[in-house]
Each structure stands twice: as C-alpha cells, then as structure tokens.
Structure 1
Amino acid sequence: MDNNFEDNEIEEETEFADSERAKGQMLKGSAWMTVGSILSRILGALYIIPWRLIFGVSLFPIANSLYTQGYNIYSFVLIVAIAGIPSAIAKQVAHYNALNEYGVGVKLYKRGLVLAIAMGILSALILWFAAPFLTNGDDNVIPVIHSLSLAVLIIPTMSLTRGYFQGYQDMSPSAISQFVEQLARVVYMFVSAFVILDIMHGNWVTAVSQSTFAACVGAIFGFLILGWYYWRRRSYYRGLVANSNNKLNVPTNQLYKEIISQATPFVILGAGVTIFSLIDQFTFFNIMRIATNFSESTLQVNYAIFAGNANKLTMIVVSLASSLAIAVVPLLSEAYTKKNKKGMRDQFSNTLILFEFIMIPAALGMAAIAGPLNRTFYGTSNMDFSSNILAFSAIESIPIGLFVVVSAVMQGVSQNKKAVKYFVIGVIVKLITQFPLVYAFGSFGTLISTMAGFIVANELIIHSLKKSFGIEEEKIGNFTAKILFYSLVMYFVALVAVYGLNFLLGFIVNPFSSIMSLIVTVLAASIGGFVYMYLSLRSRIADEVLGKRVQKIRDLLHIS
C-alpha cells in the first residue's frame, strides 16, 4: 500500500516537473522567436519611412500598391514552395529526439533538403512563367513577380534548416538569421530605390522590382547565418547521434512519406492569412467598381491602405502569435509522442493564456495609438481613413493571431485533417460574406469578413481540442477576465495620452507631422505599456504566466 502511494507520488512529481520544464522551454523558445520576429517585423515596417520619402508623395501610393500585390502572390507561392516542410521537420525531429533516435532526425533533415531544393526550383519556374496571368489587370506586376521568383529558389532550403534547429527546441539560430535576413533585405531596398530614383532618375517600376528582389538578397544572408550556426554546433549534434538508441531504421521512402503527409496541412494552414489576403486582392477591385464610381487610382490607394500599410504594422502584432506557435509545436509533439494527455492539456491551456497575455494588450495598444503611428510611417495623406483602418486592423489581428496559434496546436497533436477542414469552413465564411460586406462598408468590409472567417475557424478548432484533450476552463476564464480588464485600462490610458499630447504639442508645433507623431507614438505607447505592466505585476498575473523571473522587474519598480 505504502509503495503504491510512493509510486503515485513520484509519478505526480515527475508529471509536474515535466510540465514545468515544458512551460519553461515554451517561454524560452517563444522569447527567442518573439525577439527575432518582432525585430524583423519592425525593420520590415520601418523601411517604409525612407522608402516613402524616396518615392515621394505622388509615386508612393501606386508603388506601395504594386509592391503589395506582387508580395501577396509571392507569399502564397513561397508557402507552397516551402510546402510546410520546416514545421513538419521540426515536429518529426522532435518526435524522434523524444525517442532518443537523433540519427533518424538527421536522416530526415537530409531527405527534406532534397525536397526543399526541388520545390524551390519548381515553384520559382512556375512563378516566373505564370507572372503574365497574375497581373490583375496591371502589367507592372510582371517584373515585380519575376524579381520575387529568384527568392523562391533559396528560401525553402533556408526555412527547412530553421525547422531542423527548432526540432531541437533551439530557437536562437532561427531568430538571429531571421533578423539578419530582414536587415539585409531592408538595406538593399533602401539603397537600390535611392540609386535608381535619386541618382539615376530611373523608372519607378524598376525601383519597386529591385525592392522586391531584396527578398533574395536577404535570404542569402539569412542562410549564411544558419550555416555558421550549424558549423559551430556540428560536434554537439554528432555526439547526440552517437549516443542515440540507434534501434530504428526508417526506410527512405517512409521518411519522404512522413515529411509529405505532415507537410501538406502545414501548407494550407500556413497559407491561411495569405489566402485571405489573396481573396481580398482578387475581389476588392471588382466589388468596389460595382459599388462605387471611384477612379482606378483611388481604388489602388484604398487597397494599399488596408492591404499594405495597415497589414505591415499589424503583422508585427501577429508575429507575436507566430513566435508562440513555432515554439509550441515541437513541445506538443513530444508530449503527444509520450502519450502524456495531461501534458498536452496543460500545454494547450498555457499556450492560450500566454497568447492572451501578449496579444490582447499588443493589439489594443496599437489600436489606441493608430493615429500617430500611421502618420509616423505613412504621412498625413488620407489621415483619418488610414488611421481608422489601422485601428480596426489591430483588433482584427487578435482572431488572426489566435488562428495561427490554435492551428499550430492542432498540428502538434496530429489533428491535421480536422484543422484543415475547419480552416476551409472559415474560408467559405470569408467568401460568402465578402461581397455584401465590401459592397456595404468598402475597405472595412474586407476586414470584417476576414474576422468572421477566422472567428468561425477558431471556435471550431478550440471546441475540437477541448473535446479531445480537455482544457482548464476555470483557470483560462480567470486569466482572460483579468487580462482583458487590464488591457482595456491600458487602451483608454494610451488613447487619453495621444489626445493629451496632441493638444499640448499643438501650442508649439504641428502635432500631426511625422516627427511629432513619432514622439507621440513612443510616449503614449510607453505610458500604456507601463500601465499594463504595473497592473499585471501588482496582481501577480505576470508571475503565473511568465514565472518567477519577473520578480526582478517587480523589485526594480518597488511593486509589492
């Protein structure tokens, strides 16, 4: 009897230790991916300021629209080219590593490289030759797509290598290479646009094409960083392989089958946001031509505002969710492999709480400072319309980010077919609501229909996960109520700060200039962020979400 009690106690302690270890790994992985992703997204947004100044007031709106249309098509083709292989590799490598079969993971990576190279070549050729048929009536899109097809050659292999590192729950190489890739891309964009337009006085379409070709330049630098990391850690990986069980001998054909079967859902779900964007791109213009008598140039500007301008900034917020999703897939896969149902339930609950803790205040904070933030990046043209679109898009980023996370959870526990099915239902909702909403609300209609589609998909996925693995409803409900309340307090404080600062600055300077708007953005965001941080630290909710490490921040701020 005593022995049984001791065994149960040991088992419970082990489960608790595993749960805490997994939570710690998720936080560490999320931190690395968040830093890398956020810095990359910020760079990807900051470039727009000098880029806008180089193109000038007259050329920037149409250049931005052309860039956005080309990039949406490229993003979709790139996701297909990558074919979900990096995430599938991360999941399967984590699976075999959990079985102490590191050698199989290495073999899996090598076989995946062959697929990635082949998919890169094939997709680049398709993108190049299909360019004339993807113009949406604007032939200027053709050279832009041609320039982007070159990046498709390299990125699948680079992404696969990131997936291999992630399978070891080692997120730093991915995060750093992502940042370097973006830095190289932004530098090339800025320099090439400046040389073509200001020094050579060349064609603006050529300048846009070189700006999109920067994706290829960035990929080369990002890949070099990954190669350097692998070279430094090769001895460590060899040691793991040498000390493996080495009992599994998985045939090559089976490895390919595993990669492809796991990758296919990742393609569809990974392309989720891009598919919704493409629906907007190929329906918005036609619906608006029926609903309004706007000129083509006005439609191009309106499209660029919601699909380009707002999207660039809100994707910074969505990247928070993407970072969490990347970190959680290998951990869930490990728990699933070990048939640890409690571990899966805890992981899912912790993932939702961490998502809410980060995403809700980030989205509401961006909505609060939408006015000055928009003017900082895009100037005062269409000021009120652009700011309102950005504020609405910031709210829209919450269901989008939630989809990124919960679909990753589904894949981590091998519920791939269900995840795809629920996403397809979401797409159908988007298609059904697109025409009436765009007809009635214009650009805002595209955002509302996107929200509707993702909300339906999220509800179906969460219900399925809850039914299959359970969820700590009371715990999540308590956290949600507190996080939402603190986020709303932060929102109103930041909003008051924006109006107050604009009012005070108005006595001295024009508060709506780009420089003054930047100052207002930084100050209002800092005030709002401090309020949220203070409330979450004072209530101890930050400790429960992020662990004991936040005690240092509390001590520094003298918060009891």
Structure 2
Amino acid sequence: MSNIVRGAMLLTAASFLSKFLGMIYVIPFNAMVGETGGTLYSFAYIPYNIILSISTIGVPLAVSKFVSKYNALGDYETGRRMFKAGITLMIVTGFLAFLALFFSADWLAERMITSDDPQGITSANVAFVIRMVSFALIVIPAMSIVRGFFQGYQSMGPTAVSQVVEQIARIVFLLTAAFIVMVVLDGEIATAVGFATFAAFIGGLASAIVLWGYWRKRKSGLDKQLQQQTYTNNIPKKDLFIELFSYAGPFILVGLATSLYQLVDQFTFERAMVASGNESIWDVAFSVINFYGHKLVIIPVTLAIGLSLAILPALTKTFTQNNRELLYDQINQALQIVLVLVIPAVVGLSFLSDEAYGALYGLGNIEITGSLLGWYAPVGLLFALFTVSSNLLQGINQQKFAVISLSAGLLLKILLNIQLIHMFGAKGAIFGTALAVGTAVTLNLWRVKKTIQFPFKQVIKRTMLIIIFVIIMCIVIWIVKAVFGMFIPYEEERWATIVMLALGVGSGGIVYLWLAYESTLLERTLGDRVRVLDKIFRR
C-alpha cells in the first residue's frame, strides 16, 4: 500500500510541476511573439490536441488497467502481449493522425481564416504551424502506451520522470527557437511559432528516450516474471482489443470538452469579428480567451478538480453498496470542494483581471486584454463543475449521459457563437462558452438528482455562505486598490501592476481564508486538509 501511495504522490507532484512549467513559459514567450503569436499557437494546438485524443482513443489508460488486471492474476504474458499489440496500434494510428493533420492543414486553415490580411495572421501562417505540430503525433501516442504499461505494474517513476523531462525539453526548445528567430535573426512571428509548436515533437522524443532507458533497465526483471509464469489465459488478439476498448469508454469526449469549445471559436471567431467591424483586434482577443487568459483561469480549476476527484474512486463502491447516506456525503464534498476553492479564485481573478494580465504579459492593449480576462475568469467555475459532475455520473453508472450533455452544450455553442460575437464583440465568444458549459453542467446535475434523488439543499446553503465571504473579499480588494492606487501607478508601470496584484491577492486571499476558516466552512468541506491553517490562525 505504501508503494501505491508513494507512486500516486510522485505522479501528482510530476503533474503539478509540468503544469506549473507550462504556465510559466508563456510569460517570456508572450514577450517575444505577443498576442498574435499566442493566437497562432492556439490555432495549431487545439486541433492537435483533438486529433491526439482521437488517435489514442483512451488506449494508454486502458493498457494500464489491462496490465494491472492480468498481473494480479499472475498472467504476465497476456499483459506483455497487450503491450506489444497496443504499441503497434498506436504507431499505426499515430502515423495516420500525423498524415491526416499534416495534409489537411491548408483545408483547415482556409476555413479558420477568411480574410488574409498580409499585416496579420494569414491562412498560410496557420497551415504552417499546424504542419509543424503534427510531427508530434508520430511519437506521442506510442510513447504514452509505454507509460501506461509501467503504471500497470504500479510503477509511477517512469511516467513521472518522463513527464517532467518532456515538458522541460519542450519548453527549452520552444523558447530557444523563438529567441533565435525573433531576436537573433529578426524573423517572422509565424516562423517562431512554427518552431515553438514543433517543440511538442522534441518533448515527445525526449520522453521516449527516458522511457527506453527505463525499459532496458527493467526488461530482465520483467522477462524473469514471464519465465516463472505457470499459467496464461491464451486470449485471442481480437478479444484482447475488445476488452481494451471497453475500458476506454465514452469519457474520451468529456476530456476533450474544452478543446471542442475552443475549436468552435477557431472556425467562427475571426470571421464574426471581421464581419462585425472588429478585424483590428480579433487576434489579440482570441489569444486572451483561448491561450494566455485560459492559462490563468485553469490554474485554480486544476487544483480544485484534483482535490475533488480524489473522493470519487470510493464513490462507485458506495453506489454499488447502495449506501445512500454516505453517497450523498461524498457527492456533497466533491461539489463543495470545487465551490469553496474556485468561486473566490475566479471572482478574485475577475476583480484583478487588469493587474493579473498586466503583471504577467504587459500593459499593452490592457483595456482589451484585461477586460476579456475579467469576463472569462468566471467560466472557469463552469469548467470545474462540468468535469466533476461528469465524473459523478461515472460513479453512479450514468457515464453515457455526460456525452449527451456535452453534445447539447456543444450544439448551443455552434449555433449561437457567431450571433453572440456580432452582438457583444469578442465577449460574445465567452458568453457562448459559458452558455454551452453551463447547460452541460445543469443537465449533469439534473441527471444526478433524478438518478439517486440527491438533495442539493446543503450545496446551496454552503454556496450562499461562500458568496457572502467573496463579497467581503472583493470589498477588501477594492479598498486596497483605492488606498494604494493613490501613490502606486499600477495602471501605467508594470512593476507597480505586479505590486498591486500581490497586495490584492494577498489581502483578499487572507480575508477569505480567515472567514472560511473561522466559520468552519473549510473544515467541513476539506476535512483534515486544513490542518496547516491551524498553525496560522490558531482558532
């Protein structure tokens, strides 16, 4: 058991470090390529992420479960056969995905960009960056299978180390290439972004080398287990794949939710902004909503989801045992963790949007960028609730409904996005996403209530208390900005913006934590996780 806990902690730490590095690198990247470069980068990565998920169809995770199952039965040969078959499958699907993305780049770009302004982003630019990122599909699907195989042996070290090495190699190549192109050679933004997206291939290659090292080191021990094996299930290859795909399930679509909403923006945002007379700012606005701003919004969401989903493995067992009282407690806690952490985070980010964006990315176009971040931040709460509510449905054996709710939200986004952009400008895309995700969340929670008669009374009461504390937090931030703004030029100087951001986050965060702690809201929601605050506030 200690090895399992140690492995889980190692994997969590590696994942957090990878996400942290993934957030930090965009600061120097923005300084070199600006909002236009961020928009181009998004135009490559969003279709890439979707094609990658489709090409892997959940197989790496499924291999992990498959290998773990048959290892527990002492049948190491079946797990090894699945590993070899899985790698072959991923090499084929990865290469086909590469060909599909590479050769469809022009077709995609021409439908994403309708007004080829030689001074801005052209369809040729978009096609170039899509082709550059497509090379990663040759490596990453097969590499992911190796991670899944090791995880099936409860060995998280190879995955953790390869994740961090992949991210470091990707970021080093990305920033170096962007620096050489933009600073040393005084080149084009599209060229710099193209090499930045090619960094995904470099990162995947570095990860594959690390995993190959682990494989060579451990192969003799794995072969020894095969030689000592006395029984095998002799499952036909066809049945191996049938069982493997049964593990993947419909949740591959749920994991793609954010990318699918962003893909709708890619095909509609530019043309709607141009048609509504906002062609001069469309690339700046797009980068805030789908890249630079999204990086900020997703930080508290990721943290809250991680804490909330830790409860869910036990939820399936509780549902199977038909222990309704415990089931209600677990669902209440999962939802309340998201609310207690994400509501203050997104409201605070919205309240300090100019300061947050200006401190990290500079004050240029802040009247556009800061405003859009302020509108977009609350959507983070809906993203978090969608992920958790979808997993709740999985826990009560209603996972197929999550696909229905996602499809309903996506249909709304497709139908209304252009009209909303015409009505509200760039904010219309944010409203479209909020409406789509909000609809999916509402449907998910309705299904939870209908399936197990879950009472939302406690969730609503706690939410009202959180809202009261957040209002007090905002008043404190407003006072801090008013007082210190008299002698700190935070609207004009970047250093002053950083100082004001620190003062606002610090004062607002401490007030909210103190109120939530003294009212026992944190203790009732997070349980033993608040012990560290006992030493600070000493209730």
With normalisation by structure 1, the TM-score equals: 0.80
User: Does the 8 A contact of 1:322 with 1:404 survive in 2?
Assistant: yes
Give 2:420's aligned amino acid.
Answer: L
Q: Kindly report which structure 2 residues correspond to 1:508-547, keeping only aligned pairs within 5 A, or say none.
A: 512-547=492-527
User: What pairs with 1:198-209 in structure 2 (closer than 5 Å)?
Assistant: 198-209=183-194
Distance 1:237-1:348 versus aligned 2 partners, 3 A rule = farther
Quote how far apart the aligned CAs of 1:165 are: 6.5
**Higher mean displacement: 406-415 or 199-208:** 406-415
Counterpart in 2 of 1:294?
278
The separation in 2 between residues aligned to 1:68 and 1:528, in whole angstroms, is: 32
What is aligned with 1:122?
96
Name which of structure 1's ranges 364-373 and 219-228 shifts more when overlaid on structure 2: 219-228
Which residue of structure 1 aligns with residue 120 of structure 2?
A: none
Q: Residue 118 of structure 2 corresponds to which residue in structure 1?
A: none
User: Does the 8 Å CA contact 1:93/1:167 hold for their aligned counterparts?
Assistant: yes
Matched residue, 2:175: 190
Q: d(CA) in 1 for partners of 2:508 and 2:11?
A: 24
Q: Secondary structure at the match of 2:242?
A: helix
Question: Does the 8 Å CA contact 1:32/1:171 hold for their aligned counterparts?
Answer: yes
Q: Deviations over 1:483-523 (max 9, x none)?
A: 343344334433443444333313xxx65333332232233
Query: 1:336, CA displacement in angstroms?
Result: 6.6
Instruction: Report how many aligned residue pairs link the two structures.
Output: 525
Say if 2:25 is the partner of 1:47.
Answer: yes
**1:397 maps to which residue?**
380
Q: State the shift of 1:459 in Å.
A: 1.4
2:35 maps to what in 1?
Answer: 61
Q: What is the CA–CA distance in structure 2 between the aligned matches of 1:224 and 1:311, rounded to whole Å?
A: 31
Q: Give 1:216's aligned residue.
A: 201
User: Contact 1:328 / 1:412 at 8 angstroms: preserved in 2?
Assistant: no
Secondary structure (helix, strand or coil) at the match of 1:505 reads: coil
CA-CA distance at 1:354 after TM superposition: 2.2
| Contact 2:409–2:436 (CA under 8 A) maintained in structure 1 | yes
Question: Residue in 1 aligned with 2:371?
Answer: 388
Contact conserved, 2:11 with 2:157, CA < 8 A, in 1? yes
1:372 Cα deviation after fit: 1.0
Structure 2 distance, partners of 1:232, 1:537, is: 49
Looking at structure 1, the residues matched to 261 and 253 of structure 2 have their Cα atoms a distance apart, in angstroms, of: 12
Q: Does 1:181 align with 2:161?
A: no
Superposed counterparts of 1:86-97, under 5 Å: 86-89=60-63, 96=69
> Distance in 2 between the 1:357 and 1:235 partners?
49
Partner of 1:368: 351
Among 245, 267, 280, which residue is 1:282 paired with?
A: 267
Higher RCO, 1 vs 2 (CA within 8 Å, ≥6 residues apart)? 1
1:368-416 per-position Cα deviation (integer Å, ceiling 9, x unaligned)? 2211111122222221221111111110111112112222333455433
Q: CA deviation at 1:307?
A: 2.4
Cα distance per residue 1:227-273 (max 9 Å; x no partner) = 67788899999999999998977654333123324435233222111
Aligned identity (percent) is 29
- Residue equivalent to 1:456: 439
> CA 1:520–1:259 in 2, change beyond 3 Å: closer, same or farther?
farther
Shift of 1:557: 1.4
- Contact 2:98-2:138 within 8 A present in 1 as well: yes
Separation in structure 2 between the aligned mates of residue 308 and residue 488 of structure 1, nearest angstrom: 29
Structure 2: distance between partners of 1:251 and 1:340? 39
The superposition leaves residues 408-454 of structure 1 with CA deviations (integer Å, 9 ceiling, x where unpaired) of 33345543322111211111222232232111101111111111111
Asked if 1:473 corresponds to 2:452, the answer is no
State the alpha-carbon separation in 1 of the partners of residues 267 and 105 from structure 2: 15
- In structure 1, the residue corresponding to 2:21 is in which secondary structure? helix
Q: CA, structure 1 residues 245+75, in 2 after alignment: closer, same or farther (shift >3 Å)?
A: same
2:536 counterpart of 1:557: yes
CA 1:98–1:286: 2 relative to 1, 3 Å: same
Q: Which amino acid aligns with 1:397?
A: G
